[in-house]
Amino acid sequence: MKKTPFVIIALFLSLLTVNVTAQKSSIEYFSGKWNVLVKGLPDGDTKMILNMEKKDSSLGGAIQDSTGTEISKFSKVELTDSSVTVYFTAQGYDVNLTLNKRGLDHVEGSMMGMFDVDGDRVKMIK
């Protein structure tokens, strides 16, 4: 009976370690620049660049237009083991964009839960 609290604590710590490891791998996966295409907007399909950078134990960054001009910085970033949701303001609206892992260098998701998004990692030439 005296070992039960130790077993429970050990189980809790192992679950916590798994969660931290999953978030670290998600940070590594989503870090960098992503070309994304938002489909079906009222003004037509729109290309954007998401520039995501490691900040402490999460991500930060900004949305850029197709020419690289910054549109808006992220106000909030939510990260899970398989997706990231970024929040920002564009044209006076609070917007969220969710990206899900799809292979090594591809993502898919939605903007505001209404518009489909496809994206590819920008490869840096060395």
pLDDT score, position 58: 85
CA distances in angstroms from 103 to 11, 46, 106, 121, listed in the order given: 31, 23, 6, 11
Q: Could you tell me the CATH number of the domain that includes residue 55?
A: 2.40.128.120
Number of folded domains that form the chain? 1
> Which residues form the domain of 112?
4-121
**Assigned domain for 126 exists:** no
**Assigned domain for 29 exists:** yes
Residues of the chain with pLDDT under 70: 1-24, 126
pLDDT score, position 3: 63
pLDDT score, position 4: 65
**Assigned domain for 31 exists:** yes
pLDDT score, position 8: 58
pLDDT score, position 16: 43
CA angle 44, 46, 51 (to 5 degrees): 165
**Assigned domain for 23 exists:** yes
pLDDT score, position 101: 96
The pTM of this model reads 0.76
**Assigned domain for 15 exists:** yes
Taking only the tens place, the pLDDT of each residue in 70-93 is 999 999 999 999 999 999 998 899
